[in-house]
Structure 1
Amino acid sequence: MSDVLARHRAFYDAVETGDLELMESLWAQSPATSCVHPGSEPLTGTDAVLRSWAVVMANVEYIQFFLTDVSFSVHAGDVAVVTCTENILSGEGVETSDSFTGGKAVCTSVLVRDGAEAPWRFWSRHASPVLEPVEETD
């Protein structure tokens, strides 16, 4: 089932490189697809989901994902669930061009396929931020 994880990784490649064509190829075409970006309301329908990713990719100059805790399972042969922790490195919101900021989110993605020979496509994705505890100083 490495093809599930390859499609999952391709999603992050699309975001990191700003490749909207790749992103479009990864999503199932349906009014029932869904995506929840961290801290946002759910989006429904492939068109709305892809518009949101186009906006994200157009407005993020640099982003890189380091995935940890990746696990997946396949159900009924044509539904896969992938969970992971996204460790995010970005240049957004920093004052100088040689600085980076980071964040963390946990993500659950549901991928589907239409038969054993069909490619896996994203059906649903939900990412939630992980809040790091802030140490108090005297």
Structure 2
Amino acid sequence: MNPLAELLEANERFYAAFNGRDLVALAELWDDSGPVACIHPGWRALTDRHEILESWRAIFQGGGPATIDCRAPEALLLGGSGGEQLGMVVCYEAIGNALLVATNLFREVEGNWRLVHHQAGPCNEPPAEAHTKPPLSPLQ
């Protein structure tokens, strides 16, 4: 498999873990070898891995969205320093009739893509590719 396909697969695992409410799978995806960050819409920035995993637990327990449908993912390889490989997936998150734009940044660790940053926020002007299912409205 090529690196871009592997990166997209890691991104799919992230959304599958969310949709399955699988904290173990999320913990396996989030990198534990360096800095991480997560910015949920309307939340302060989280930069502690434990705090990030607890935020997902709180979302699951607090009746957060039932599912997130990842749309129009675009994988980009960023290189890195000292042989470290970084990759980013920019995508759209359909949550009911709302649409967010998201960035998921991954670091390759021992041949596996590990999540180091997730940020999602409102999207008022999505590309046509994000409208592959029923029409969506931006999150207000």
Interval containing the TM-score (normalised by the shorter chain): 0.7 to 0.9
The 2-side partners of 1:80 and 1:31 are apart by 15
State the shift of 1:67 in Å: 2.1
Q: Is the 8 A contact 1:30 1:45 kept in 2?
A: no
Q: Is 1:41 equivalent to 2:20 in the alignment? A: no
How many aligned residue pairs are there? 119
Post-superposition CA distance 1:85-112 (Å, at most 9, x none): 11112xxxxxxxxxxxx32110011100
Q: Judging changes above 3 Å, is the alpha-carbon distance between structure 1 residues 62 and 42 closer, same or farther for their aligned structure 2 residues? A: closer
Q: Is 1:87 equivalent to 2:80 in the alignment? A: no
Q: Is the 8 A contact 1:113 1:119 kept in 2?
A: yes
The 1-side partners of 2:52 and 2:33 are apart by 10
Unaligned runs of 5+ in 2: 125-136
Q: Judging changes above 3 Å, is the alpha-carbon distance between structure 1 residues 130 and 53 closer, same or farther for their aligned structure 2 residues? A: same
Letter in 2 for 1:3: E
Unaligned runs of 5+ in 1: 90-101, 134-138
Q: Judging changes above 3 Å, is the alpha-carbon distance between structure 1 residues 57 and 120 closer, same or farther for their aligned structure 2 residues? A: same
Counterpart secondary structure, 2:43: coil
The TM-score with structure 1 as length reference comes to 0.77
The TM-score with structure 2 as length reference comes to 0.76
Letter in 2 for 1:40: W
Post-superposition CA distance 1:3-50 (Å, at most 9, x none): 111111111111111111001000001562000001111000211110
State the shift of 1:69 in Å: 2.4
Q: Which has the larger radius of gyration?
A: 1
The alignment-based identity, stated in percent, is 24
